[in-house]
Chain A
Amino acid sequence: MSTTDDNTNDVSPEEAEETTEETPEESSQPDYDSSGDEEECHCSGPGLPILFFIIGFVAMLIFGWFIFPEFLYCKIKQPIDFNHVLHMEEVDKGCESCHFFREDGTFAGVPKNAQCIKCHAEVQGDDPDELEFVEKYISNGVEVPWLSYSRQPDCVFFSHAAHVKLANMDCAECHGPMGESTSLKVYEKNWLSQYSRDIWGKSVLNMLNMKQHTWERMKMYDCAVCHMEKTGRETSVQTAKDGCFVCHK
């Protein structure tokens, strides 16, 4: 307030009439200028807020793509740690020695005790997993509750015969190099949908569509893309693609 008083006193009476209305503005201007100088000093340009935004954005992406998905899945260990490499050396028909087609064309999937008992009626080696398998499951006649990584939802019909026998596809094309694994990976089950993470895929792959191999994600989109490319069938009236009932049931 003292500055306004000083200004009005300095001005002559003639000028005073013209300037009295302006004086409040003039008087307040130095206040505005000084405060503006202070902001520039503290922030040093618009770069810092953008930097903070980028840091926050990247942090959120990392959280959303890598950390949060971990909370969506519960990790379950397979009941027995199975060594595919060890067994592949013993059998002569590759994957189909244990994962075979039944006579009616359906696929047997994960082997039952009936297939294992031929060799494992008694303990073969000194592996603790084999010991547990024989004592806990074979001896008691209880099936092993294996967790199937590639199990599709109830509404999906997947024909192994059409893919393996008709289209001559390799098992590894959809299941990955399972035959080369020496131990079973941890099964990740989605808390909400109860489906395996092998179906949903990794979140980053979903967002950026960076899928490299067939087995990284097996959702409907992935089936549809391959069907469109490979079969080229246009039997669906609605979509001009492969019919819906080919895979749905």
Chain B
Amino acid sequence: MKEGHHHRKEKKFGMVIDLDKCTGCGACMVACMAENNVPFKQNETDKLDSITWMRVYKFDNGKKFPDTEVCFLPRPCMHCEGQSGHSGHSPCVSVCPATATDYDTDSGIVSQIYTRCFGCRYCMAACPYHARHFNWWDPVWPEGMEKALSPNVSPRMRGVVEKCSFCFHRYQLAMDEIYAKGHRDFDEKVPEYQTACTQACPTDAIVFGDLNNPNHEVNQIVKPDHNHRLTGKSGNPKVFRLLERLETNPKVYYLSSREWVRRAGDNYQGEETPENYKVKEVHH
């Protein structure tokens, strides 16, 4: 049985978000809240307190009318892989003193175990993407809504940190189906699972799947650069990642044909651009 488990191919679930297609409608945020039992308050005006696993940011090119251009950027958890392949040395995992957050080399997903978390919030400080949120209160659901919560995602309690899980519970259910049908892995008959935000996006801006699978659309868009297999760099010049220079090696990629959008992904100084920064890395 030991070997039986091991012959299953290692997966690396990742996401590509096409920022040219994103209209900023916020459907992904709503779908995520509903799917993952994300708590909310009656008064959400203080955004420092609000919990949004998926948050859509708005930014512009800083030019005056008529040259103003606006871009919306949905930001889930980046599920950072860290350097040197599957080391799992993502910022949050490496600082967690409670083993509450973990990197699974089987799926490439950064997990968060709420019952283990004791709320020190080191991970929130370590996360450069602000993808983690703290439960300052126990969730209070409007009357009758408790019955509409998803039984597949455990609700969180006061004092723990939570974040996007790439809808891991859907992966669990998908694997259930595979095993019940006598299969061992995703194949033509049992397609890969999808996250709630991917399915909710009306413009199909989000593509989610296994980055290790060359037949998958996500792999074909990202075109992982084989010279940079360990850093996860994309071979597609239109594809970039947020704060790429931190070398957190995120598995969420963004796609844009606009140069100023790609440039906004990190603090590129002077002559630096996302492209020539990548060139530097070749000789690194």
**Residues of B contacting A237 with CB < 8 Å?**
86-89, 93, 102-105
Q: Is the CB of A104 within 8 A of B102?
A: no
- Structural contact, A105 and B1, CB atoms closer than 8 A: no
Q: Are B176 and A104 in contact (CB-based, < 8 A)?
A: yes
Name the segment of A10-18, A133-141, A154-162 touching the other chain.
A154-162
Binds B, one of A21-29, A60-68, A201-209, A238-246: A238-246
In the bound complex, CA of A235 to CA of B1 (Å): 16
Given A165-B179, A238-B96, answer yes or no on A230-B2 (Cβ-Cβ < 8 Å).
yes
B228 in the interface (beta carbon within 8 A): no
Please give, as numbers and ranges, the residues of chain A lying within 8 Å of B2 by CB-CB distance.
230-232
A interface secondary structure, majority: loop
Evaluate contact between B176 and A238: CB separation under 8 angstroms: no
Supposing A155-B114, A231-B2, A232-B5 touch, asked if A239 and B154 sit within 8 A by C-beta, the answer is no
Which of B45-53, B166-174, B245-253 lies at the interface? B166-174
Could you tell me if B5 and A157 are in contact, using CB atoms closer than 8 angstroms? no
Cβ contact of A235, chosen from B93, B105, B175, cutoff 8 A: B105
B214 at the interface (CB under 8 A from A): no
A161 to B177, CA, bound (A): 8
For the complex, give the distance between the alpha carbons of A133 and B184 in Å. Answer: 41
A106 contacts B173, CB within 8 Å? yes
Q: Which one, A106, A231, A248, contacts B1 given CB within 8 A? A: A231
Interface size, A (range)? 20 to 34
Query: Interface residues, chain B, CB within 8 Å of chain A?
Result: 1-2, 5-6, 86-89, 93, 96, 99, 101-107, 109, 111, 113-116, 152-155, 165, 168-169, 172-173, 175-182, 184
- Is A181 an interface position by the 8 A CB rule? no
Q: Closest CB of chain B to A162's CB: distance in Å?
A: 5
Contact A155 B154 (CB under 8 A): yes
Q: Which residues of A contact B102 (CB under 8 A)?
A: 236-239, 243-245
Asked if A249 contacts B153 (CB within 8 A), the reply is yes
Residues of A bordering B, CB below 8 Å = 101, 104-106, 153-155, 157, 159-162, 165-167, 230-233, 235-239, 243-246, 248-249
Additional 12 contacts, C-beta under 8 A, given A101-B180, A237-B89, A248-B111 = A104-B177, A105-B173, A154-B154, A162-B176, A165-B182, A231-B2, A233-B6, A235-B104, A237-B87, A238-B99, A244-B102, A249-B169
Question: Among B102, B107, B114, which residue has the most Cβ atoms of chain A within 10 A?
Answer: B102
Contacts of B101 in A (CB 8 A): 238
Chosen A-B contacts, 23 in total, with CB atoms closer than 8 Å, are: A101-B180, A104-B173, A105-B176, A105-B177, A105-B180, A105-B181, A106-B173, A155-B114, A155-B115, A155-B154, A166-B179, A167-B1, A231-B1, A233-B6, A233-B106, A235-B106, A237-B87, A237-B102, A237-B103, A237-B105, A243-B102, A244-B99, A245-B113
A114 to B93, CA, bound (A): 47
Contacts of B176 in A (CB 8 A): 104-106, 159-162
Residues of chain A within 8 A of B182, CB atoms compared:
165
Closest residue of chain B to A220 (Cβ to Cβ) is: B115
Cβ–Cβ < 8 Å partners of B180 in chain A: 101, 104-105, 161, 165
Q: How far is the CA of A161 from the CA of B172 in the complex (A)?
A: 11
Task: Specify which chain B residues have a CB less than 8 angstroms from the CB of A238 in the assembled complex.
Answer: 93, 96, 99, 101-103
Q: Give Cα A239 to B96, complex, Å.
A: 12
Q: How far is the CB of B124 from chain A (nearest CB, A)?
A: 18
Docked Cα-Cα span, A162 to B115, in Å, equals: 23
Q: How far is the CA of A106 from the CA of B178 in the complex (A)?
A: 10
Chain A to chain B: the 7 pairs with minimum beta-carbon distance, closest first: A237-B88, A105-B180, A105-B177, A243-B104, A105-B176, A161-B179, A245-B111
Complex-state Cα separation, A232 to B177, whole angstroms: 23
User: Which chain B positions have C-beta within 8 A of A233?
Assistant: 5-6, 106
Q: What is the distance, in angstroms, from B168's C-beta to the closest C-beta of chain A?
A: 5
Report the minimum CB–CB distance from B190 to chain A (whole Å): 9
C-alpha spacing A101/B181, complex, angstroms: 10
Nearest Cβ on chain A to B85's Cβ, whole angstroms: 12
